[in-house]
């Protein structure tokens, strides 16, 4: 048979151009042993199927365990994706060191030499143990042998893009290669009842197949996110076959590896000295987790015909819309001003519940009136200047109360008591700015 090196399309006939992916000169000959129907499966009635208890083994890295639903499930495959340099190898070497306390852990690198990994381990001050085994290997059948011989209780593959599956003529970094390697490794995980971690690089060019191409094959898919200027790293689950994908883990990349940020709200809102104009604390929601963050705005007069509009950690289109709402419904003449809006600490916020906070920051900077440092602001803004309700308001305010905030400006509609906190319900952007004194 012939198979396309890129997409894996197989046919008895040779093609100059692959009918599936359209690439030229990718067809190579291969032979396949016909396996036939080996296992005879029998359908079972639902009540006859025993409930399988899933035992989770925690990694003892709390922020990581939170994202994977409490701990690792034997036989599962976890994908850890992220851009090159974000900290995938660092995180997984730290996880490997934790797991090595309970049994042999095999770290298979197709990218770095054992010497390089040793250097990283030194930097991370990892407790050296004979249970942490490192090997440089790219060949899948050799990887399988290593896993069986070492009786590894957990395996890390760094990265899936460097694993050669069986069969000749498979192009490295192609969709077919990563798919086939993932499929075979997940069978190995199931057979050995061990967790296998796959690192996957996100590449900007479409040339290489990234982690997206194998998300459907794995049990849990995580991504490490973080800005170039920031040392904050968010681990986010986008898929979890065993639980929710709502949780995030927050880390900071330091000189000695990733350090958990156990109290992100405190971390993202730490302010020194008096509160300047343009700074607002917003209780945002990351998955199901309320996190307080500081939004900063700088509004400065410019003589330019083209005033600047910049946003870091926020969607610039949304900011533009909010600026229009401010101009129209508060009558603030901000169109001739340079406006910069920024989420402190390097987080990226996607929800509309922060609208009112962004608007308050802009107005506060424009009028050069600071907003009280004990107040939090939350609410979505509609085009007619109305403040709309947000989900999980109670959870957001509970987090704010926990950190000692005394007052909250929130959308009108829900009635409840918050111990020790003054709730200020507003209907419009105008009411909100009055309540905030800006």
Measured in whole angstroms, how far is the alpha carbon of residue 185 from the centre of its chain? 23
Identify what 437 binds: ligand TYD, Mg ion, none; CB under 5 to 8 Å per kind. Answer: none
Q: Is 162 in the site for Mg ion (CB under 5 A)?
A: no
Q: Is 124 in the site for ligand TYD (CB under 6 A)?
A: yes
CA 192 – CA 300 distance, rounded (Å): 62
> Please, which residues bridge with residue 252 across strands?
232, 259
Report, in Å, the least distance between residue 155 CB and ligand TYD: 17
Contact 352, 380 (CB under 8 A): yes
CA 340 – CA 282 distance, rounded (Å): 17
According to CB under 6 A, which one of 86, 237, 311, 360 is a site residue for ligand TYD? 86
Q: Which stretch binds ligand TYD (CB under 6 A): 116-124, 350-358, 362-370, 424-432?
A: 116-124
Structure tokens at 353: 């519940």
Residue 154, CA distances (Å) to 57, 157, 297, 337, 377 in order: 11, 10, 47, 56, 45
| Binding positions for Mg ion, 73-92, rule CB under 5 A | 89
Q: Is 97 in the site for ligand TYD (CB under 6 A)?
A: no
State whether residue 343 is helix, strand or coil: strand
Q: Which stretch binds ligand TYD (CB under 6 A): 160-168, 174-182, 254-262, 283-291?
A: 254-262
Q: Work out the burial of residue 60: count CB atoms within 10 Å of its CB; fewer than 13 is exposed, 13-18 middle, 19 or more buried.
A: middle
Q: Which stretch binds ligand TYD (CB under 6 A): 16-24, 251-259, 302-310, 352-360?
A: 251-259
Identify what 120 binds: ligand TYD, Mg ion, none; CB under 5 to 8 Å per kind. Answer: ligand TYD
Identify what 259 binds: ligand TYD, Mg ion, none; CB under 5 to 8 Å per kind. Answer: none
Q: Work out the burial of residue 388: count CB atoms within 10 Å of its CB; fewer than 13 is exposed, 13-18 middle, 19 or more buried.
A: middle
Q: Which is nearer to ligand TYD, 139 or 203 (CB)?
A: 203
Q: Is 94 in the site for Mg ion (CB under 5 A)?
A: no
Report, in Å, the least distance between residue 89 CB and ligand TYD: 3
State whether residue 378 is helix, strand or coil: coil
Q: Is 162 in the site for ligand TYD (CB under 6 A)?
A: no
* Binding footprint of Mg ion on the chain (CB under 5 A): 89
Binding site for ligand TYD (CB under 6 A): 82, 84-90, 120, 123-124, 253, 255-257
């Amino acid at each position: 048979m012939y198979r396309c090196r890129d997409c894996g399309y197989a046919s008895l006939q040779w093609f100059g151009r692959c009918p599936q992916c359209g690439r030229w000169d990718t067809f190579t000959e291969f032979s396949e042993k016909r396996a036939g129907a080996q296992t005879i499966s029998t359908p079972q009635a639902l009540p006859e199927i025993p409930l399988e208890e899933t035992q989770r083994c925690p990694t003892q890295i709390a922020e990581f365990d939170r994202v994977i639903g409490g701990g690792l499930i034997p036989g599962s495959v976890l994908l850890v994706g992220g851009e090159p340099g974000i900290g995938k190898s660092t995180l997984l070497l730290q996880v490997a060191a934790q797991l090595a306390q309970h049994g042999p852990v095999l770290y298979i690198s197709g990218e770095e030499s054992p010497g390089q990994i040793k250097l990283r381990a030194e930097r991370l001050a990892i407790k050296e143990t004979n249970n942490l085994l490192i090997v440089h290997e790219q060949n899948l059948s050799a990887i399988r042998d290593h896993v069986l011989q070492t009786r590894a209780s957990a395996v890390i593959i760094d990265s899936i893009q460097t694993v050669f599956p069986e069969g000749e003529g498979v192009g490295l970094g192609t969709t077919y290669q990563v798919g086939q390697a993932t499929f075979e490794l997940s069978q190995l995980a199931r057979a050995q009842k061990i967790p296998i971690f796959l690192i996957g690089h996100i590449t900007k060019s479409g040339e290489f197949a990234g982690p997206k191409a194998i998300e459907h094959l794995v049990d849990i898919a995580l991504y490490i996110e973080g800005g170039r200027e920031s040392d904050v790293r968010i681990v986010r689950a986008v898929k979890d076959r065993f639980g929710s994908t709502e949780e995030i883990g927050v880390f900071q990349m330091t000189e000695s590896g990733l350090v958990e940020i156990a109290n992100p709200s405190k971390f993202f809102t730490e302010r020194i000295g008096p509160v300047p104009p343009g700074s607002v604390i917003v209780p945002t929601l990351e998955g199901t987790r309320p996190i307080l963050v500081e939004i900063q705005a700088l509004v400065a007069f410019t003589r330019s015909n083209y005033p600047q509009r910049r946003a870091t950690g926020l969607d610039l289109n949304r900011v533009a819309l909010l600026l229009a709402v401010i101009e129209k419904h508060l009558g603030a003449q901000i169109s001739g001003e340079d406006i910069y809006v920024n989420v402190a600490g390097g987080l990226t916020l996607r929800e509309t519940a922060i609208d009112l906070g962004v608007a308050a920051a802009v107005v506060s900077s424009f009028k050069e009136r600071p907003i009280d440092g004990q107040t939090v602001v939350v609410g979505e803004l509609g085009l007619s200047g109305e403040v709309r309700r947000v989900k999980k308001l109670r959870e957001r305010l509970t987090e704010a109360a926990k950190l000692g905030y005394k007052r909250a400006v929130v959308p009108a509609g829900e009635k409840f008591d918050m111990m020790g906190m003054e709730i200020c319900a507003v209907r419009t952007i105008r009411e909100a700015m009055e309540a905030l004194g800006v």
